[in-house]
């Protein structure tokens, strides 16, 4: 290979890198990795920043509680609810509503359910719209070193593939 061919090949690869970085591919990697990481919180029953921090257990899984086996959807008790994962209602809406949108500088992760912040931050809620109480905070989204490293690994791999 002569110098001119090597220079042309290098310029093509640099153009591919530029397109990757400035286009939607990097944003999609960020968004997909974040959504998957945050959804994993529901399977892990806790949030992972540097390490997994488990959520406080729920009363519906405590046999001594009057809420044992209680379903917020049906208002009745069931064996399934006694064992169901924390923040995993029958509809799985809270988990499944995590999504991302591309922004000019990256990706914005959102959850469109009206009660996401109540669970995330431990805000006030009402039992069946009546008695007010403060929900225990069970964060499922946020800054995460594990997520940051996963995104970095994906981007690095993609850059290596482009530069081969």
What are the extents of the domains in the chain? 3-163
**Can you tell me whether residue 154 is helix, strand or coil?**
helix
Give the mean pLDDT of the chain.
Answer: 94
Per-position b or e across 64-89, b if 16+ CB within 10 A of its CB:
eeeeebbbeeeeeeeeebeebebbee
Report, as an integer, the average pLDDT of 83-101.
94
- Tell me the three-class secondary structure of 112-154, residue by residue: CCCCHHHHHHCCEEEECCCEEEECCCCCCCCCCHHHHHHHHHH
pLDDT score of 19 more than 80: yes
Q: How confident is the model at residue 10 (pLDDT cuts 50, 70, 90)?
A: confident
pLDDT of residue 105: 92
Report, as an integer, the average pLDDT of 45-60.
97
Between CA 95 and CA 50 the distance in angstroms is 21
Between CA 20 and CA 141 the distance in angstroms is 26
Report, as an integer, the average pLDDT of 11-33.
94
pLDDT of residue 56: 96
Residue 4, both tokens:
């001119």
pLDDT tens figures, 99-128: 999 999 999 999 999 999 999 999 999 888
pLDDT of residue 46: 98
pLDDT of residue 129: 82
**Residue 5 or 132, more confident:** 132
Report, as an integer, the average pLDDT of 77-96.
92
pLDDT of residue 1: 73
Q: Say if CB 138 and CB 119 are below 8 A apart.
A: yes
Q: Say if CB 59 and CB 67 are below 8 A apart.
A: yes
Contacts of 159 (CB under 8 A, 6+ apart): 17, 20
């Amino acid at each position: 290979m002569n110098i001119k061919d090597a220079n042309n090949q290098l310029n093509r690869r640099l153009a591919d890198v530029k397109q990757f970085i400035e286009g939607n591919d990097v944003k999609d990697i960020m968004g997909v990795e974040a959504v998957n990481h945050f959804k994993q919180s529901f399977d892990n029953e806790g949030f992972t920043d540097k390490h997994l921090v488990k959520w406080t257990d729920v009363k519906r899984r405590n046999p001594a509680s009057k809420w044992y086996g209680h379903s917020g959807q049906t208002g009745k008790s069931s064996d399934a609810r006694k064992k169901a994962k924390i923040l995993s209602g029958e509809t799985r809406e809270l988990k499944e509503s995590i999504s991302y949108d591309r922004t000019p500088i990256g990706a914005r992760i959102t959850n469109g359910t009206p009660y996401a912040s109540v669970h995330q931050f431990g805000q006030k809620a009402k039992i069946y719209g009546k008695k007010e109480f403060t929900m225990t905070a069970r964060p499922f989204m946020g800054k995460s070193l594990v997520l940051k490293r996963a995104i970095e690994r994906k981007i690095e791999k993609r850059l290596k593939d482009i530069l081969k």
